[in-house]
């Protein structure tokens, strides 16, 4: 693997590699993606192999221009056009009925496709140099902590990716909001930086949340929605601050690592990272913080439960899934 500065020459080489069916590590504003030509099934299959990703887990197609929407969607509702005008480029993925020639390997065998336009100058330069859609899930082993730097991609995937374009630290830090517009009512299937309130302000109706759906409802499968995901190798607990402080003080002979918004107690003997009080800043640092704690060699990671308000919904979602998946050291 080569980490490369995103010069015009490097972007041109990366676009050539993608056209030849290769994989490229691509920065976005959310997390780093593992990009391949979304119209090339052989290249897309290499994404699944490199990540150890189940083939029924659909991929998001990244576009360099909103004008490409009709090439990937069978039909584009007015709400999708309005949302693209409001939030693209940006961290919003829209689920739409797929165009007839969109590969079922990309869609996980479904009749819908996830589409977004990333808000990162390197990603947009690469997409425009390439000239088509790029399938680009997070550039890490499936189920593990998403990468927010080029070095994270290198440590996760090594030689499986010939080139990673270094676009610096991701500025959003968690994956995009996924909004299903393929049915009668819009549904947020994965929370992210674009809130339900922000979506409602554009389309004039508030989308449902996944948890609002009736049990047994037929829900589109989307990236990052499995119960366990985004997980460290080290066992992890999500605790209210009072319980976290008690667990950290008790220790039980174990060295623990902590992520909390409170200051470290004077008598604490372990690793303590103090997270920002702003939800946006906390999200931006979240995956890098979890990676640092996972690498600290502690017996457990303790994370303070985020506040219950809407601004922290996406962070709560990621941490709850991370806690469920943590500790399975042989997982991919």
pLDDT at 332 over 50: no
Cα separation, 251 vs 163, in Å, equals 43
Q: According to the model, what pLDDT value does residue 125 have?
A: 98
* Residues counted in the chain: 332
Rounded Cα distance, 82 and 67, in Å: 13
Give the distance between the most distant pair of CA atoms in the chain: 62
Summarize the confidence of residues 230-234 as an average pLDDT: 96
| pLDDT at residue 252, as a whole number | 72
Helix axes 121-130, 8-19, angle to 10 degrees: 50
pLDDT-based confidence at residue 328 (cuts at 50, 70, 90): low
Separation between Cα atoms, residue 280 and residue 306, nearest integer Å: 12
Report, as an integer, the average pLDDT of 41-50.
98
Domains of the chain with bracketed CATH: 2-212 (3.90.870.10), 235-325 (3.40.50.11030)
Cis peptide before 89 (omega within 30 of 0): yes
pLDDT at 241 over 60: yes
Scored b (16 or more CB within 10 A) or e, 303-315 reads bbbbeeeeebbbb
168-215 pLDDT, tens digit per residue, is: 999 999 999 999 999 999 999 999 999 999 999 999 999 999 988 887
Average of per-residue pLDDT across 132-160 = 96
Average pLDDT, integer, range 305-323: 97
Q: What is the pLDDT of residue 270?
A: 93
pLDDT in tens, 68-123: 999 999 999 999 999 999 999 999 999 999 999 999 999 999 999 999 999 999 99
The candidate with the shortest Cα–Cα distance to 163, out of 320, 257, 68, 36, is 36
CA-CA distance, 245 to 268, in Å (whole number)? 10
pLDDT in tens, 28-39: 999 999 999 999
């Amino acid at each position: 693997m080569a980490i490369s500065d995103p010069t015009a020459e490097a972007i041109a080489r990366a676009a050539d590699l993608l056209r030849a069916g290769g994989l490229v590590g691509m920065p976005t504003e959310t997390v780093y993606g593992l990009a391949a030509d979304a119209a090339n099934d052989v290249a897309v299959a290499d994404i699944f192999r490199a990540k150890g990703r189940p083939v029924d887990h659909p991929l998001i197609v990244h576009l360099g221009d909103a004008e490409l929407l009709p090439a990937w969607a069978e039909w584009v509702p007015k709400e999708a056009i309005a949302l693209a005008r409001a939030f693209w480029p940006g961290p919003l993925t829209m689920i739409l009925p797929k165009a007839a020639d969109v590969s079922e390997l990309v869609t996980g065998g479904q009749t819908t496709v996830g589409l977004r336009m990333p808000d990162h100058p390197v990603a947009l330069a690469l997409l425009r140099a390439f000239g088509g859609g790029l399938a680009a899930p997070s550039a890490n082993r499936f189920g593990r902590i998403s990468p927010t730097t080029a070095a994270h991609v290198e440590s996760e995937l090594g030689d499986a990716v010939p080139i990673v374009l270094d676009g610096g630290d991701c500025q959003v830090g968690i994956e995009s909001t996924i909004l299903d517009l393929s049915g009668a009512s819009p549904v947020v299937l994965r929370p992210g930086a674009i809130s339900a309130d922000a979506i409602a302000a554009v389309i004039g109706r508030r989308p449902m949340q996944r948890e609002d759906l009736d049990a047994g409802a037929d829900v589109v499968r989307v990236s990052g929605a499995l119960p366990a995901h985004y997980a460290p190798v080290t066992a992890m607990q999500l605790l209210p601050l009072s319980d976290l402080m008690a667990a950290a003080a008790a220790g039980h002979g174990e060295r623990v690592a902590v992520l909390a918004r409170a200051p470290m107690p004077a008598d604490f003997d372990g690793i303590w990272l103090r997270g920002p009080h702003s939800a946006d800043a906390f999200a931006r640092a979240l995956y890098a913080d979890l990676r640092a704690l996972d690498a600290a060699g502690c017996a457990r990671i303790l994370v303070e439960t985020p506040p219950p308000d809407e601004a922290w919904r996406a962070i709560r979602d990621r941490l709850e899934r991370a806690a469920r998946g943590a500790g399975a050291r042989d997982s991919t």
